Amino acid sequence: MSVVSVGAAATSATENGVVRHGRGSNRRRRGPRLRYLSLVALLVLWFVADKADWISADTFPGPGAVWHAAVDLAQSGKLADALQVSLTRVVIGGLIGVVLGVVLGLLSGFSHLAESVLDTPLQALRAVPFTALVPIFILWLGIGEAPKIAIVAFAVFFPVYINTYAGIRSVDVKYAEVAQVYGLSRVAVARRVLLPGALPGILVGIRYALALSWISVIVAEQLNASSGIGFLLVNARQFLQVDVMFVCLVLYALLGVVTDLVYRLVERRLLVWRRGFDGA
């Protein structure tokens, strides 16, 4: 007995004719195409604004100038090195933050004792901006990779923790009661009922945390760093290389889009049992 089993049964009933999702499937197929078309439309608008001199090339370079700057950085090897360094920091810090957020969120959501011990201190820490912790982490951890990874982990942790906790507490108590009637232990109830039931909320927290991971790595790389995309951005600002600055901004935007796309694919596979409203 698990929430996934209930969801699978509901899906089976849906497929047998209780509710039809034909038009919803068509909308989902059109969705990605519309997203890409809207992105292309923004690029076309940028190109037209540049050619029509609606924007100043000194403060807002056009797509051609940004492209040439990106090619120069790629040919010199600086772009690949910066991307590798930033991606490594995001992956390591993000994994640490997600794992800690899920584990502590499960503990606080499942146990009143754990909630009493953990939740209030964590809520106090949540009010501290991660930007204010950069000099503290440098003081504690030195000037290497550790403080940068710690900043990413700190930023990622809280949305995952809060959404995991909320997801556990939002599971219908009847599921847990039925599981106990079937003789499942507390650990089994947590693993087979509460965790699957909280999974949609956990994934929402992870989606928000993924965006924060890129924001936090920008902050971490702008202070006391000698590599990474954030370092390229700061270096370009010092030498007034606006085209390179825009290369970094566009790269961050593309990484955000790719990260969200990967998230959507993972979410679709993990929540295949769930059928909810997906838009009109």
What pLDDT, on the 0 to 100 scale, is given for residue 154? Answer: 95
Highest mean pLDDT among 21-30, 93-102, 186-195: 93-102
Mean pLDDT of 122-129: 90
Q: DSSP readout, 62-121?
A: -HHHHHHHHHHHHHHTHHHHHHHHHHHHHHHHHHHHHHHHHHHHHHHHH-HHHHHHHHHH
What pLDDT, on the 0 to 100 scale, is given for residue 144? Answer: 84
CATH number of 63-270: 1.10.3720.10, 3.40.630.30, 3.90.75.20, 3.60.20.10? 1.10.3720.10
- Give the Cβ contact number of residue 16 at 10 Å: 8
Band the pLDDT of 10: cuts 50, 70, 90: very low
Q: Say which residue, 2 or 56, is predicted with more confidence.
A: 56
- Cβ-based burial of 227 (10 A; exposed 0-12, middle 13-18, buried ≥19): middle
Mean pLDDT of 255-272: 84
- 101 with 157: CB under 8 angstroms? yes
Q: Which tokens belong to 203?
A: 């994934």
What is the average pLDDT score of the chain? 82
Domain ranges, ordered by start, for the chain: 63-270
Closest CA to 94 of 138, 132, 148: 148
Q: Say which residue, 191 or 168, is predicted with more confidence.
A: 168
3-state SS of 196-258 is HHHHHHHHHHHHHHHHHHHHHHHHHHCCCCCCCHHHHHHHHHHCCCHHHHHHHHHHHHHHHHH
pLDDT at 250 over 70: yes
What pLDDT, on the 0 to 100 scale, is given for residue 33? Answer: 65
**CA trace torsion 21, 25, 28, 33 (10° rounding):** -150
Band the pLDDT of 277: cuts 50, 70, 90: low
pLDDT at 9 over 70: no
pLDDT at 101 over 90: yes
pLDDT at 70 over 90: yes
Band the pLDDT of 124: cuts 50, 70, 90: very high
What pLDDT, on the 0 to 100 scale, is given for residue 22? Answer: 47
- CA dist 223 and 33 (Å) reads 39
pTM of the complete model: 0.79
Mean pLDDT of 41-49: 88
pLDDT at 166 over 80: yes
